[in-house]
Amino acid sequence: MRRFLVLPTSRAGWGLFIAFVALVLAGIWPVIGWVNRPTLVMGLPLLVVWSYVIMFACVAVMLVGNRIVERDDHE
């Protein structure tokens, strides 16, 4: 029987799951409303800088997840 949702089984997996959910939550409405201000950071609007931070953080979390999967020899 196929499960709809597969949850992590290790401490590292839960850490990555929580980090990814936190990043997704950082990219939706309440947080976006807080950073959507007419402030420039290095010549870019704060909202654009926030979007770059979220994208690079997602890439970092996925890279760490791939390292953990390779280390544990999961398929």
Mean of the pLDDT values across residues 51-74?
86
The DSSP secondary-structure symbol of 42 reads T
- Assessment of whether the complete model's pTM goes beyond 0.85: no
Long-range contacts of 14-18 (CB under 8 A, 24+ apart): 16/61, 16/64, 16/65, 16/68
Are the C-beta atoms of residues 2 and 57 closer than 8 Å to each other? Answer: no
2-52: per-residue pLDDT in tens? 788 888 888 888 998 999 999 989 888 888 888 888 889 999 999 999 999
Q: What confidence category does residue 75 fall into, taking pLDDT thresholds of 50, 70 and 90?
A: low
CA neighbor of 47 nearest in space, from 34, 60, 30: 34
